Amino acid sequence: MELIFGGFQNIEQIVQAAIHEDVDVIGLSIHSGAHFAYTEQLINLLKEKGVLDHFLILVGGVIPARDFQKLKDIGVSNVYGPGSRVSDIVNFIKTNVKK
C-alpha cells in the first residue's frame, strides 16, 4: 500500500488530494470530538462532486463506541477507536477496496 499522509488539512484539501491522487481509501483520524462534523462535511462534498462511490471511507481516533454505527449510517465503511489492531484495519482495506 502507498500512503499519502495529508497532515492537518481541511476537508476541501483532503478531497482535492484524494481525487488528484486517485486513492482507494480516505482515512480521517479525529481526536477532537468533532468526528460527526468533519465526516458529514467529507461525505457531502464527495456526494456533491459525484465521487462518493470511488472511495472507501475510514474514520479512526478518539471515537466513542456509541458513535460507530451513526458514522456508518452516514456513509463511513468502518470506524476504529483507540486500541484497534492495525492488522484488522489492513485486512478490512484489502477485503473492501473497491477497485
- Cα separation of 41 and 59, whole Å? 13
Q: How far is the CB of 22 from ligand B12 (least distance, A)?
A: 18
Show Cβ contacts of residue 29 under 8 Å, excluding neighbours closer than 6 positions.
59, 60, 61
Task: Give the residues lining the site for ligand B12 (CB under 6 A).
Answer: 27, 29-33, 58, 60-62, 80-84, 86, 89
Which is nearer to ligand B12, 44 or 61 (by Cβ)?
61
Which is nearer to ligand B12, 5 or 99 (by Cβ)?
5
Which is nearer to ligand B12, 27 or 39 (by Cβ)?
27
Q: How far is the CB of 37 from ligand B12 (least distance, A)?
A: 11
**Nearest Cα to Cα of residue 26 among 49, 62, 59:** 59
Joined grid coordinates for residue 49: 462532486
